[in-house]
Homo-oligomer: A and B are copies of this chain.
Amino acid sequence: MSRPRCHPRSHYRAFLTLTTRWADNDAYGHLNNVVYYAFFDTAVNQLLIEAGVLDIASSPVIGLVVETHCNYFSSLKYPQKVEAGVRVAQLGNSSVRYEIGLFAEGSEAAAAQGHFVHVYVDRATQKSVAIPGATRKVLEGLSATQL
């Protein structure tokens, strides 16, 4: 059960600052492990919305989550703020794999890091489709290799 290498902030292409909530602290006094995934979702979709390529209510093609993963290195606690770093690690025809790092505000070392995979589907039929061109451009801008 070996731990992955912890990526530095420079690994990521975009950062968002997110606030924690009282209820995020669980009975052990730190952020519940589940909350980290709420940050993953929030960071990735916010980047897409702000780039103008996702309208939650009406986009005809949407990304469905098919895989998520997280490694936890140190604990975070409300009321700390969290900085979420995002980069695109793999970009396929209909799927994209994001890597996300969560940092206590101002910290150089990630408290946690993980990934999640979106498969793009037609909203009505839920069948997988190619990632739309405008979205792909945004994802390329977030990619490791700056295609």
Residues in A lying within 8 Å of B, measured CB to CB: 1, 3, 17-23, 25-29, 32-35, 37-39, 41-42, 45-46, 49-50, 56-57, 62, 64-72, 77-79, 90, 92, 95, 97, 116-117
Contacts and interface: CB of A to CB of B under 8 A. Distances in A.
A42 to B, nearest CB: 4
Nearest to A21: B42
Given A26-B26, A26-B27, A28-B62, A21 B41 contact: yes
Contact of A117 (B1, B62, B79, B95): B1
B42 A32 contact: no
Counting from the closest, the 10 A-B pairs by CB-CB distance are A22-B41, A33-B65, A25-B27, A34-B37, A69-B69, A21-B42, A46-B79, A23-B32, A19-B19, A22-B42
B79 A33 contact: no
